[in-house]
Structure 1
Amino acid sequence: MEDSAELESILPYLPLVIGSSRRLLWPSKVVEALEAMSRGPDHSRVNCGEVLSIAISDMRASLSLADPLALSAPLGYALFFDELMSGADSRKWFAEDIPKLANLLLRLPSLLEVHYQNSRAYGYGLRILGPQQPGMVLLSQELIGALLACSLFCLFPISNRGLKHLPTINFDQLFASLYDSYSESQENKVRCIICYFQRICLQMPTGSVLFELKLLSLEYHPWQSFLSYPYADFWTKSTIPLCPFQVHSSGLIEDHAIEALEVDFANKYLGGGALHRGCVQ
């Protein structure tokens, strides 16, 4: 595989390594574990949430991931797959879906190599975009599924994510929250995510998804046709008084008079707390 600035930017945040032949690889111990799971629970013994969490911990150890999982994550996996999920659905999940997800993960290195080969001419490769850096990333739905499977198995390294202000990506906090502070909404959120994996295991979609980061420049230039974006502390340091206004904490914007504005206080990270206890974004 040819060197790529795009790949180099994202490689520290992927669970893969580059081998001597300059190809993306899983460590051999991870390959063994995934191959065992791909053959089904009779071969891997991964037949319940409790054993799945042990398998996840073993693969993380093979990846030398130093950051521990959320303390209650193993209990959350066991709670969902062994108690909240019906017996029939749980047996199907471990007999059919887990083997297919393991196979998908085994293909992740080749999926990424094809991705970078196809995106080389257009600059749409998976990468880290810095501040004030617009760009587009084009991912196949199969590659997206493989990356999300890494999240389910908590295989992404997270020690350096804070340096780039990257949000949560592994699902350990999601399952830990289910155990630590159970709620029906949290259970249904996990069910929704697991349903996604069940659907792609049933039939892998063949489309692509384009992600685009657009930019409002920090600096204003007369020749630009768009407004500049204020600095982060613009509002906190502003001394301009607000005009008179009324606040309505309930109702719909359509029911109010003209010149009404609806305010949504979003999380500063895309997705907000969706992989913790949040259920809004």
Structure 2
Amino acid sequence: MGSGPSADATQTKGTDKHRRNHRRSMAAHGDHRRSMAAHGDHRRRTRSDVRDATEEESREMFEEYMNDDRSAEIIHKGVPFEAIIKRFRQPPILNPMDAIKEENTIFTFKPLKYAPYKPDTEHDVESYNDRWDKYHVRMPCSNDYISNDRKPIWPKICEHLSFLKAKCDSREVKFKHLKTVIEDCNERSFDLECLQRLIDPIYSKNEYRNFMYVTLPKMCDLLLNIKSVCTQPLPLLRINENRSVSMQQQQAAALLACAFFCLFPNRSGRTLRTEYEDYQNPNFEALYQRGPPSKIEKLKCILHYFNRVTDHMPTGVITFQRVVLPKSEYPQWPELKTDLCDLHLTTGDKIEDIPSVLQVDFANKYIGGGVLGSGCVQEEIRFTICPEMLVSLLICEVMECNECILLIGCERYSSYKGYAHSFQFAGNYTDKAPRDSWDRLWCHVVAMDAIYFQNPSTQYHMKSIERELLKAYTSFRPLGHDADSKFGIATGNWGCGAFNGDRQLKAIIQLIAASEARRPLVYAAFGDRKLVTSFSALYEHLKKERATVSDLYYYLMGYCRDQPEQSLFDYILMPPASRFQKK
């Protein structure tokens, strides 16, 4: 490759700041400190790692979200989006459910056709197959969920729910009755300030009546009949296990109704068991507690979901899948001569609005991040407008560096506006995505967690870069072997914002990973005209010079080694690729 022209002044905001921080602090941070930052997945984890953006970070992200460029003309660069989409069948062809033989592909309902070679997938909907062990969700309706006097707790919970339903049916229900039932079911007090503020002073009379008189009693009914809806506890998707679980949307609704009443045992507070230390708390109690206005807006979305599904229960299927990349398949980046993938860049679309692609969730390693707390950025917003995704908090253990989680078929129910502290529920959303042959909405989301760089300079160490490359490749690698499984990927400024990532560095990392996965990349830098323009110019230069995956890897090595003043994009454009080849 030859040398190219220097990039123009279209550098990503924050790049120069990160480079200055890098040069000042590299000497002060030894290899041990940098290694810990790069491999934070392997230290002992606690739920304190699920961090919400600070008020200052939220304000900064909102200012970036609302900067002047966002009102400017939308620009598109690179390969046309239509050319990427038309290359693949929409949705991809799937094997029939009853033809699936893998023991790690689990259905919580009877497949569309009876499979005699896999009889355990046919469940009697009239009976509940109870399990109470560390491999499955511990359900509140289990006979093994007992009180101190050794009696099952579920009958008492049913009494409380029946009382609440009667109050709703007679239209005598007040918020105090809901609060009492939540507390009586759990035998402890709760801070429900945000929930109370929404239902009492904020909801209009019609909204109050609809939720308290119509939706809430149907939620009680759903729980009172949960053993006939969820006929077995969900298996947990544990670390280092390639496994998927597919369920009906009605089953997801019943599980989320449990979370609404905070019924899942051993997941929080004084009842937290060691076996769940590396899982999120799926109960909604933290969302109910006093907090910023965005918590109430998230509750509006979730209660709107319950209004929708209790009025007309969806009948489709959703899938959660944990993907583990074995070490034998780790890419050897310096040796890969793979050509760069097709790239489309846009300032006009949000990731969730780009159809027929794998949509990237900028995840916390504890999936969902702060969605049930005060967090309200990309991942939390996505889970709020698509509440079926919250089921993943119930079953997914923390992600390791070679793991990702797929969420397939989760329906979107809410529109929204704003971001971070300005987030607001904006009414109903009708999801018009087509369905695949498993009756899942054609919506594939991958949760991939980036490193949180408390000190931004540590991201320019190759151990950090190699970790992010591994995570991105694990998430982008197609699971099928046919051409249609290599449909496009929609991503953006992954690991930036509150996680302090350099946008240009993350863009190159994702380009490398998508190229090695042989999948086209749709880069949605919403409103960020500078990044789209500079990334497009760089990509055109790289394609002209026939750059490969290994070329980009050596550029990153050189950038970390040389610690130059200029941005990464400028650095790549200046010298020839051969400068970084091994002697």
Deviation of residue 13 (structure 1)?
3.0
The residue aligned with 1:171 is 284
- For 1:31 and 1:3, locate their aligned partners in 2 and report how far apart those are by CA, in whole Å: 19
Helix, strand or coil for the counterpart of 1:195?
helix
The residue aligned with 1:49 is 175
Deviation of residue 182 (structure 1)?
2.9
The residue aligned with 1:84 is 202
Stretches of structure 1 that go unaligned for 5 or more consecutive residues are 20-24, 62-67, 117-124, 221-225, 230-252, 256-262
- For 1:194 and 1:2, locate their aligned partners in 2 and report how far apart those are by CA, in whole Å: 28
Q: 1:28 to 1:75 in 2, by over 3 A?
A: same
Deviation of residue 54 (structure 1)?
1.3
Deviation of residue 92 (structure 1)?
1.9
Task: Tell me if structure 2 keeps the 8 A contact 1:49–1:78.
Answer: yes
Task: Tell me if structure 1 keeps the 8 A contact 2:143–2:154.
Answer: no
Larger Rg: 2
1:216 aligns with 2:329: no
Task: Tell me if structure 1 keeps the 8 A contact 2:237–2:244.
Answer: no
1:9-67 per-residue CA deviation (whole Å, 9 max, x = no partner) reads 45563212227xxxxx862221122223333426595x233321111101112xxxxxx
- For 2:130 and 2:244, locate their aligned partners in 1 and report how far apart those are by CA, in whole Å: 16
The residue aligned with 1:110 is 228
Of 153, 175, 194, the match for 2:303 = 194
Helix, strand or coil for the counterpart of 2:192?
helix
The residue aligned with 2:241 is 133
Task: Tell me if structure 2 keeps the 8 A contact 1:36–1:43.
Answer: no
The residue aligned with 2:160 is 33
Deviation of residue 112 (structure 1)?
2.1
Q: 1:152 to 1:91 in 2, by over 3 A?
A: same
Task: Tell me if structure 2 keeps the 8 A contact 1:35–1:102.
Answer: yes
The residue aligned with 2:185 is 59
1:65-91 per-residue CA deviation (whole Å, 9 max, x = no partner) reads xxx565xx2223221111111122112
1:75 aligns with 2:193: yes
Stretches of structure 2 that go unaligned for 5 or more consecutive residues are 1-126, 145-151, 333-344, 348-359, 380-583
- For 1:51 and 1:2, locate their aligned partners in 2 and report how far apart those are by CA, in whole Å: 30
Of 14, 27, 36, the match for 2:139 = 14
Moved over 4 A (4+): 1-5, 42-45
Q: What does 1:147-162 align with in structure 2 at a 5 Å threshold?
A: 147-157=255-265, 158=267, 159-160=271-272
Deviation of residue 209 (structure 1)?
0.7
> CA-atom RMSD, angstroms?
3.1
- Alignment-mate amino acid for residue 276 of structure 1: G
Task: Tell me if structure 2 keeps the 8 A contact 1:26–1:109.
Answer: no
The residue aligned with 1:227 is 330
Q: 1:53 to 1:228 in 2, by over 3 A?
A: farther
- For 2:364 and 2:229, locate their aligned partners in 1 and report how far apart those are by CA, in whole Å: 32
Q: 1:42 to 1:148 in 2, by over 3 A?
A: closer
Q: 1:32 to 1:208 in 2, by over 3 A?
A: same
- For 1:205 and 1:75, locate their aligned partners in 2 and report how far apart those are by CA, in whole Å: 31
- Alignment-mate amino acid for residue 145 of structure 1: A
The residue aligned with 2:374 is 277
Task: Tell me if structure 2 keeps the 8 A contact 1:48–1:90.
Answer: no
1:215-265 per-residue CA deviation (whole Å, 9 max, x = no partner) reads 112x32xxxxx3279xxxxxxxxxxxxxxxxxxxxxxx758xxxxxxx997
The residue aligned with 2:292 is 182
Q: TM-score scaled to structure 2, two decimals?
A: 0.34
Q: 1:270 to 1:10 in 2, by over 3 A?
A: same
Identity percentage of aligned residues = 29
Deviation of residue 171 (structure 1)?
0.9
Q: 1:15 to 1:85 in 2, by over 3 A?
A: same
1:207 aligns with 2:306: no
- Give the structure, 1 or 2, with the largest relative contact order (CA under 8 Å, sep 6 or more): 2
- Alignment-mate amino acid for residue 58 of structure 1: D
Paired residue total? 217
- Alignment-mate amino acid for residue 227 of structure 2: P
Q: TM-score scaled to structure 1, two decimals?
A: 0.67
